[in-house]
A and B are shown apart, each in its own frame.
Chain A
Amino acid sequence: MVKVVLMREKQTLEVDYEGTIIDLLPLVGYSLETAVVLKNGSPVEEEETVGEADEVRVIPVVSGG
């Protein structure tokens, strides 16, 4: 299980997933252009893979107005 923390929605999801961050993002309603991702607390390239016991924080790109 990957723990996905959606920062704006203030939601934590447990996602059964093993693969790249790029392909994970659409599963939680985001894309490469609309999210900045922290893997276990640090920014990483989205080509990196995540899997069991990883935590992914999703920070929305669009905010303000």
Chain B
Amino acid sequence: MQQCSCGHRAIYFRRYSGQHLCKRCFSRSIFKKFKDTIRINKLIERDDHVVCGVSGGKDSLVLLHMLKDLQSKFQFELSALVIDEGIAGYRDVSLPYVHRACKQLGVPLHTRSFKEAYGYTLDEVTQIEDRLGACSYCGVFRRNILNQASREIGGTKLALGHNLDDESQVILMNMLRGDMGRFGRTGTFYKDVHPKFIPRIKPLREIPEKELVLYAVISGIEFDFEECPYAHEAFRDDVRDFLNDMEQKRPGTKHTLLKTYDKLFPIFNEQFTPESIATCKRCGEPSISTLCKKCEMIDDIKKKKGY
């Protein structure tokens, strides 16, 4: 049995740093990483209104708890925002976790749904023939509502629960796909590209997914274990398996990939991110072209559904 450097019994071996950690030192180290990520990258400033996107999964609920704790250190406003995509048997199961957490923490919760915003649930969208992958619609719709709703709530930052695994997977996926446009958008900061764009912050991006699960368990944060029924995207699964395999053989792989990306990020951002972004002629939201991806998708769905 191993001991933590403080003398208590270790419950976690952090292979990438060689540390054996007890419950208390482990939890402290996670909160410190979260706080340092915010401080070093100036993600939250005094009097910001942070809107935390929550799903009921462990990442976003840990993020919400940590942001609440951080409020005791300095002054900022905190709200939570949940999107109901309309995925039967999944989102309806995780929503109660969100409601309970917000009630317990005293954080105001705002809810938006695909059905209300667009007229269709994600389940309804996936019934059309000749369609894209469910995650393509969901990703575009969710980003659109998160941005729009955050603005309506009065948010100045949108906090999302992306962890080290999410980030390292996306970096590698964009690199393998040669998607340079997206490649320049996974960093810690965003250029102020559009007046209607609420900057997104990812305070958990340096924390491994496994450590967030352990942190949630130790802190008594209840979360939904389920996986989205649409989540199995073959390419991401391959990249995830590869990174997990590498991490097990060579602990530190995921951190190194993120650190390398972060060092190169100013160059990517300069080279591949447009100076300014257009405005969708229909909905007025930030867009790459004159009609935004969301409006384009809605047109296509309407045509195929006939209503």
Contact = CB atoms under 8 A, between A and B. Distances in A.
Interface in A29-62: 31-34, 36, 38, 42-48, 59-62
B209 A61 contact: yes
A33 B246 CA distance: 10
B47 interface: no
Contact of B23 (A43, A60, A62): A43
A43 B225 contact: no
B59 interface: yes
A44 B10 CA distance: 7
A7 B58 CA distance: 14
B224 A63 contact: yes
A32 to B, nearest CB: 6
Interface string B129-168: 0000001000000000000000000000000000001000
Contacts of A38: 217
Contacts, number: 72
Given A31-B244, A62-B209, A43 B214 contact: yes
B209 A60 contact: no
B228 A65 contact: yes
A9 B86 CA distance: 23
A51 to B, nearest CB: 15
B59 A64 contact: yes
A61 to B, nearest CB: 5
B295 interface: no
B248 interface: yes
A31 B217 CA distance: 18
A52 B133 CA distance: 46
A64 B57 contact: yes
B225 A60 contact: yes
A8 B227 CA distance: 9
B218 interface: yes
Contacts of B227: 8, 60, 62-65
Contacts of A65: 135, 227-228, 230-231
B11 A43 contact: yes
B100 interface: no
B226 interface: yes
A33 B230 contact: no
B226 A42 contact: no
Given A34-B244, A64-B58, A65-B227, A45 B214 contact: no
A33 B243 CA distance: 10
26 contacts: A8-B226, A33-B210, A33-B244, A34-B210, A34-B244, A36-B213, A36-B214, A42-B11, A45-B2, A45-B12, A45-B13, A45-B20, A47-B13, A59-B225, A60-B227, A62-B227, A62-B240, A63-B223, A63-B224, A63-B225, A63-B226, A64-B55, A64-B226, A64-B227, A65-B135, A65-B231
The 8 closest A-B pairs by CB, nearest first: A65-B228, A65-B231, A64-B57, A33-B244, A43-B11, A36-B213, A45-B13, A8-B225
Given A36-B213, A42-B11, A45-B12, 18 more contacts: A31-B244, A33-B248, A34-B210, A34-B244, A36-B214, A43-B23, A45-B11, A45-B13, A47-B13, A59-B213, A61-B209, A62-B209, A62-B240, A63-B224, A64-B59, A64-B224, A64-B226, A64-B227
Interface of A: 7-8, 31-34, 36, 38, 42-48, 59-65
